[in-house]
Copies of this chain bind each other. A is one copy, B any other.
């Protein structure tokens, strides 16, 4: 739990992915053991400031001692605020409390918020960083696979409203992302798999070679070898490319939602009950559904649907609605949830469809009746 002797040589062996956003450009560092040497990287960014580490109680136990030691060694003053683990912390009252705590600690604009944790912590801490004093410095230290390959990159921050997830927030880019892949050793297999769904997504969006590489290398990625670091870095590069092209989600950034429209609807249908379905599992099912729906529309070859399903199954991810334990609502209800989703633009249904592995595209004119028929068939199939 203390900083290793080689802490000061942090970037050696780490991969650096640059997110090109003009004045808001930043680096993502990917490698094993980076938390223990984070102080030096943060010191380089801050030149004298202090940090507030926002984390959750579980991550605090596993990772906070190493981070604190590293901040101390770098001479960076710090305070820590730990929230309860889990999605319910992404709410107004927690947001308000954290803002007040950061102000109470008298942190200034040039000081930084450090998000140490998974997606919940990153989204919440990022919105705090965006909002306190109208924007403080912000550093992401994602500790889950999902956060390392997805939520920590790209600047989406936010909290949930009673009307849905992530409906209140800001586009706010971090100044630095430090992804310590050793932190993933402590994840449960289920949580690791859920993050892996987003890794596979980058191949399915526009990189068939990467998907094929994943088919060949998934064992080493799950075991924690060099392929894991490579998969995380490649995912960050893929996301960085999309984000650089469309920071505020006006166009092609929507491709990142491949599998998410169906996935979100399923998460909502089970009331975000993580015992039944976690986000990455919803995405896995959603990606299979997006390919199957595209095949039904005559866009995607059936063999690609089969290949997607086979790979997701191989790593242990669910691919069909019937894989979700318990009852699901009828197709019409699922369609209504989809229509309420924030990706809807003025009544028309927008989906990410695909012409095959690595050939996804944004389709804004999807007929709701087609979706209803498709979902009905998929649900019937499972009885």
| Residues of A participating in the B interface, judged by any CB pair closer than 8 Å | 48-49, 92, 96, 99-100, 103-104, 106, 108-110, 130-135, 156-158, 161-164, 166-171, 248-249, 340, 342, 344-346
Bound: A100/B344 CA distance, A: 18
A159 to chain B, nearest CB (A): 9
If A104-B163, A162-B100, A163-B100 touch, does A170 touch B135 (CB 8 Å cutoff)? yes
Contact of A131 among B103, B109, B169, B345 (CB under 8 A): B169
Chain B residues closer than 8 Å to A157, beta-carbon distance: 134
A191 to chain B, nearest CB (A): 26
A75 to chain B, nearest CB (A): 15
Q: Can you identify 14 A-B contacts, CB atoms within 8 angstroms?
A: A49-B346, A92-B92, A99-B167, A99-B168, A100-B161, A100-B163, A103-B164, A104-B163, A108-B345, A130-B170, A132-B168, A134-B170, A134-B249, A135-B248
Look across to chain B and name the residue whose beta carbon is closest to the beta carbon of A104: B163
Bound: A110/B344 CA distance, A: 11
If A92-B92, A131-B168, A169-B134 touch, does A103 touch B346 (CB 8 Å cutoff)? no
Beyond the given pairs A49-B346, A92-B92, 12 more chain A to chain B contacts, judged by CB atoms under 8 angstroms and listed by A's residue number, are: A99-B161, A100-B163, A106-B340, A108-B346, A109-B342, A109-B345, A132-B167, A132-B168, A134-B157, A134-B166, A134-B169, A135-B248
Bound: A92/B194 CA distance, A: 34
Question: Quick check: A167 and B48 within 8 Å, CB to CB?
Answer: no
Bound: A106/B344 CA distance, A: 11
Copies of this chain present in the complex amount to 2
Chain B residues closer than 8 Å to A164, beta-carbon distance: 103
If A103-B163, A104-B163 touch, does A158 touch B134 (CB 8 Å cutoff)? yes
Which of A100, A109, A168, A171 has the most CB atoms of chain B within a 10 A radius of its CB?
A: A168
Which of A133, A135, A248, A342 has the most CB atoms of chain B within a 10 A radius of its CB?
A: A133
Question: Quick check: A103 and B161 within 8 Å, CB to CB?
Answer: yes
Chain B residues closer than 8 Å to A340, beta-carbon distance: 106
If A168-B99, A346-B110 touch, does A134 touch B163 (CB 8 Å cutoff)? no
A112 to chain B, nearest CB (A): 13
Question: Quick check: A96 and B92 within 8 Å, CB to CB?
Answer: yes
A247 to chain B, nearest CB (A): 10
Which of A104, A164, A342 has the most CB atoms of chain B within a 10 A radius of its CB?
A: A342
